[in-house]
Structure 1
């Protein structure tokens, strides 16, 4: 449980940098699909190099595992990434994030219906705190006029990611997460390389290379690998809850890197999110203490 918690939080911290790299790239004039292509292509290269040196046996996979990776990497994750980009084209990033971070609730509902999960009161309380906190973190999202298309794209993105987490849990029951993840990212790289030429990277300046490499390493190779290990260790519902530290990371980095203002109500929202993460763990510690006592 502890390892799964650490994996999910570290993954969320890494994924929290995605919006920052993305905004920096857009400010340079790079196209959204181009940025996504750099992210997955360099992420795949980094993962295969690291595993090829440190643990080459992991790269030897059965056809069944490769087929699972194709389902995740060709269908689900690219669709979620495309929906996220399309949402950003029509509505503010804060609005997209607000809608997107309702995925812990959706993931729990999917697990209840399809995986026969029976969550306790503490899980529902944690989800309530997280939803409330996310709303406060992005408190000004609906103060602006919204394009219905953007809302639909964001809702689709949220739903797709919820299904994605659930499928990961099903697919990694009998296979190690570290075995399937490099091939998932490879398939995603191939999909987006068909949409944007990978050769464009050679036209980038130093700042562009920094953004491209940062996208490939931090929110991709590192964060996605940790996400799979977390789901394998503690399940998609707990990962969805613990991973909501991601918007806190994004808001803080936006303040320091992009010089964005953080309002006091957003700080209150981040506190609610952290409480939502801590609550299930306090209950778990109490149970373990009771069993050991």
Structure 2
């Protein structure tokens, strides 16, 4: 095997591994919320824990990342942190608590489609004609999954939260693409999570969490098992955020950003499988076809941009 093929294989392995951890995190996050941690508090815990670990990592590896942002960079990082990190995780947590995890991720992953539309109509970038195919595929797919012709098949607030997550995730991509042109990605993510944590602690302070030693039922197929709540929250922070983040960030050393993002669309498919295996969630044949259309449309949309976006690591799943 040629060296280039070997490097690409490493990249694919990293992004698939990161996507797998983000998928499992959807189920673990639901366990935390059903154990009594509300979506806002879970978001505070995740962003705060992640910010502290990113801070420790930067202190050990690149202290220049700790420099306080100023001016335009400060404004960009505030928007990225409050909307692109805190906003997407809060709305996503609401969604997975109320609708099937696969549907929640399908809605969140409409973000690449929104990004391409923004690039075309606001930034006046040239995009391939396949963009319109992508938009049609995702809209038709969502209509099939949500069974719009028969009335919404899922909780309305959960659906709105999923769409809100898509908007926030699109902001994350758009602002993040600009941010990493001017700064190291570690610095961008460190300060984005720091500002996200500060914002969420105003809304739901982490010190209000209770019962960390209480048992949390693993639900669904794992209903016979319980683990301490602190272990569930530790998973969300370390294996649900830090590990997949570094895996997908590392994948960008071997693969173009567009390829990493397209491969990451395995998440909605994997989340649907996880929802079926863990929580007994299922879709009928028409909804499965719709889900596949959405995923294909997302991939086509990402590839329709004529210029490659700057690499932005996935942190929101």
Deviations 1:253-288 (A, max 9, x none): 2233334346555665666567668779999xxxxx
- The equivalent position to 1:218 in structure 2, one of 200, 216, 239, is 239
- The equivalent position to 1:199 in structure 2, one of 204, 207, 211, is 207
- The equivalent position to 1:68 in structure 2, one of 76, 98, 103, is 76
Instruction: Please report how far the alpha carbon of residue 105 of structure 1 lies from its aligned counterpart in structure 2 after TM superposition.
Output: 1.5
- The equivalent position to 1:22 in structure 2, one of 13, 29, 32, is 29
Q: Which range is displaced more, 195-204 or 181-190?
A: 195-204
Q: Which range is displaced more, 101-110 or 123-132?
A: 123-132
SS at match of 1:63: coil
Note if 1:59 corresponds to 2:65.
Answer: yes
Q: Could you say what the CA RMSD is over the residues aligned between the two structures, in angstroms?
A: 4.2
* 1:161-180 correspondence runs (5 A): 161-180=169-188
Instruction: Please report how far the alpha carbon of residue 204 of structure 1 lies from its aligned counterpart in structure 2 after TM superposition.
Output: 0.9
Instruction: Please report how far the alpha carbon of residue 35 of structure 1 lies from its aligned counterpart in structure 2 after TM superposition.
Output: 1.2
Tell me, in whole angstroms, the C-alpha distance in 2 between the residues paired with 1:251 and 1:123: 25
Instruction: Please report how far the alpha carbon of residue 60 of structure 1 lies from its aligned counterpart in structure 2 after TM superposition.
Output: 3.3
Q: Is the 8 A contact 1:178 1:229 kept in 2?
A: no
**Which residue pairs with 2:43 in the alignment?**
36
Instruction: Please report how far the alpha carbon of residue 165 of structure 1 lies from its aligned counterpart in structure 2 after TM superposition.
Output: 0.8
Q: TM-score, normalised by structure 1?
A: 0.72
Q: Is the 8 A contact 1:46 1:216 kept in 2?
A: no
- The equivalent position to 1:255 in structure 2, one of 276, 292, 296, is 276
Deviations 1:76-131 (A, max 9, x none): 43233444455567766665444433222211111223444323356665666666
Give unmatched runs, 5+ long, in structure 1.
284-293
SS at match of 1:16: helix
Tell me, in whole angstroms, the C-alpha distance in 2 between the residues paired with 1:44 and 1:243: 23
Tell me, in whole angstroms, the C-alpha distance in 2 between the residues paired with 1:201 and 1:217: 18
Q: How many residues align?
A: 281
Q: TM-score, normalised by structure 2?
A: 0.67
Tell me, in whole angstroms, the C-alpha distance in 2 between the residues paired with 1:199 and 1:151: 30
The structure in which a higher percent of residues are helix is: 1
**Which residue pairs with 2:265 in the alignment?**
244
- The equivalent position to 2:114 in structure 1, one of 106, 115, 122, is 106
Q: Which range is displaced more, 106-115 or 32-41?
A: 106-115
* 1:56-205 correspondence runs (5 A): 56-61=62-67, 63-64=69-70, 65-85=73-93, 96-121=104-129, 138=145, 144=152, 151-201=159-209, 203-205=211-213
Instruction: Please report how far the alpha carbon of residue 49 of structure 1 lies from its aligned counterpart in structure 2 after TM superposition.
Output: 2.6
Give unmatched runs, 5+ long, in structure 2.
1-6, 214-226, 305-317
